[in-house]
Amino acid sequence: MDILQILLTDTFWEAALRIATPLIFGVLGALVCERAGVLNLGIEGIFVAGAMAGWLAVWLGAGLWGGIVVAMLTGGFFGLIHAILTVPLGLSQHVSGLGVTMLATSASYFTYRTALPNVSSPPRIEPFRPLDIPLLSDIPFLGPVLFQQTAMTWLALFLVALVWWVFNRTPLGVALRAVGDNPDAVDAQGLSVYGLRISAVVAGSMLMALGGAFLTMSAFDAFFFGMVNGRGWISIALVIFASWRPGKALLGALLFGAFDAFQVRLQTEVGAFIPPQIFLMAPYVLSIIALVVVARRADYPRALLKPWFKGQR
């Protein structure tokens, strides 16, 4: 089969969108935090925590949407830790974020092992099913690409629009953009810098947790150690690539999903000649390349990484 013909199949684009979904959540989450001036390297651990907590809740009988809520609350909890350490205390966002990743990851693994001490193969839940809407799903090409997806993919697409709308059309969004550019401006106008930043980090972390939950509740049906596999870090690279804009974030995640889906298919075509690991490396190499290409002209939020203390200017 001609390699380029892959790009025209509906199954390819269906896979691309599916692979992109957790990244859409991750990039949006990172975007919300960073637009308000806080780098959240807790993302990788929050993915793990969201994946584990959401799955565990469903496994304990909470129902799928109950699991979503639990995942978001868990993400919000770890986000709050990061927010307190970096916003009012003004500690290093790098180190605090890594600390949160370590904490969230180890707490998730410990909880999983403690809740399920004696399982040899990971227990399974009934995950989200493709929506499969009659008629719509039968539209050629678009039908399978869009309507073979689960509710969580639709949620991700909806959140892209929501985040765009909040940032561009509401006073809250204006204030969030301002606090990531010049916190003094926000303070001088009588708004709370701490309040805005803490809320942004907590909300962003909830979005990140959804990315993790997608893995255990939609893409797969079980929790594995190491299943997040750097998706959080890739999101951090993609948000720079997306210049902190929701629309471009969607585009970046989709491009990434497309490349990943393409390499998987390429692997089946030419896999006999090339070690499979070359393909496995591709997403990470791609992220680094994307980062290097945009790094020089990246328009970082001006106050990113800079702690702000009340009454010290």
Partner 1 sequence: MIRIEPRSSVPPVLKYGVPVLSALIALALAAIPLLLAGADLVEAYGKMFTGVFGSMFSFTEMLTRATPLIFTGLAAALAFRAKLWNIGAEGQLYLGALAAAAIGTGLIDAPGFVLVPLILIAGAAAGAAGMAAPAYLKTRFGADEVVTTLLLNFIILIFLQMMLEGPLKDPMGMGWPQSAPILDQGMLPQLLPRMRVHWGLILALVAAVIAQIMLGRSVWGFRLRAVGENAAAALHAGIGVRRTIMSAAIVSGALAGLAGVSEVAGLKGYLTADLSPGFGYTGIVVAMLAGLSPLGVVAAALFIASVFVGADSMSRAIGVSSYLADLVVSMSLISVLIGGFIARYKIGFGTPAKGGA
Partner 2 sequence: MANELVLSLRSLSKRFGDVVANDAVSIDLYRGEVLSLLGENGAGKTTLMNMLFGHYMPDSGSVEVADSDGTLRPLQLGHPQAALEAGIGMVHQHFTLAENLTAIDNILLGSESLWSLRRNRGAARRKVQGIIERSGLAAPLDELVGNLTVGERQRVEILKALYRDARILVLDEPTAVLTPQEADALFDNIGAMTRDGLSVIFISHKLREVLAFSDRIAVLRHGRKVGEIATAEADERIIARMMVGADTEATARAAMQAGDPVLELENIAVKGKSARDSLHRVSLTVRAHEIVGIAGVSGNGQTALARLVSGLTRPDGGEMRVDGRRVTKFDPQTLLKAGIGRIPEDRHHDGVVGAMSVAENMVIERLDADDVQKHGFLRKAAIRAHAQELAAAYDVRGPGVDAEARLLSGGNMQKLILARVFECAPRLILANQPTRGLDLGAANEVGRRLLEARARGAGVLLISEDLDEVLALADRIVVIHDGRLIAADTTDREAIGLMMAGEHA
User: Computed over its alpha carbons, how large is the radius of gyration of the chain?
Assistant: 20
* Shortest Cβ 254–partner 1 spacing (Å): 20
| 151-169 helix and 246-270 helix, angle to the nearest 10 degrees | 150
Indicate which of partner 2, partner 1, none lies near residue 170 (CB less than 5 to 8 Å, by partner kind). partner 2
Burial grade of 84 (CB within 10 A; 0-12, 13-18, 19 or more): middle
Residue 181 lies near partner 2 (rule: CB under 8 A):
yes
Ramachandran class of 226: left when φ > 0, alpha when ψ lies in -120 to 50, beta otherwise: left
Looking at the Cβ atoms of 66 and 307, the one nearer to partner 1 is 307
Answer whether 279's CB lies under 8 Å from 267's CB: yes
Indicate which of partner 2, partner 1, none lies near residue 109 (CB less than 5 to 8 Å, by partner kind). partner 1
Residue 205 lies near partner 1 (rule: CB under 8 A):
no
Rounded to 5°, the CA angle 172-177-183 comes to 100
Residue 33 lies near partner 1 (rule: CB under 8 A):
no
Name residue 75's amino acid: G
Nearest C-alpha neighbor of 218 from the set 70, 10, 22: 22
3-state secondary structure 43-104: HHHHHHHHHHHHHHHHHCCCCHHHHHHHHHHHHHHHHHHHHHHHCCCCCCHHHHHHHHHHHH
Residue 311 lies near partner 2 (rule: CB under 8 A):
yes
Q: Looking at 184, 255, 304, 307, which residue binds partner 2 (CB under 8 A)?
A: 184
Residue 187 lies near partner 2 (rule: CB under 8 A):
yes
248-287 footprint of partner 1 as x/- string (CB under 8 A): ---------------------------x-xx-xx--xx-x
C-alpha to C-alpha distances, 106 to 103, 112, 205, 299, nearest whole angstrom: 5, 10, 17, 34
Indicate which of partner 2, partner 1, none lies near residue 66 (CB less than 5 to 8 Å, by partner kind). none
Residue 113 lies near partner 2 (rule: CB under 8 A):
no
Q: Which residues pair with residue 150 across a beta bridge? A: 130
134-173 footprint of partner 2 as x/- string (CB under 8 A): -----------------------------------xxxx-
Q: Looking at 185, 251, 282, 294, which residue binds partner 2 (CB under 8 A)?
A: 185
The Cα–Cα gap between 101 and 205 comes to: 12
Q: Looking at 9, 111, 137, 182, which residue binds partner 2 (CB under 8 A)?
A: 182
The Cα–Cα gap between 214 and 154 comes to: 11
Residue 76 lies near partner 2 (rule: CB under 8 A):
no
Residue 302 lies near partner 2 (rule: CB under 8 A):
yes
Task: Give the count of beta carbons closer than 10 Å to the beta carbon of residue 228.
Answer: 28
Indicate which of partner 2, partner 1, none lies near residue 184 (CB less than 5 to 8 Å, by partner kind). partner 2
Residue 189 lies near partner 2 (rule: CB under 8 A):
yes
Judged by the rule CB under 8 A, the positions of this chain that interact with partner 2 are 169-172, 174-175, 177-178, 180-182, 184-191, 301-302, 310-311, 313
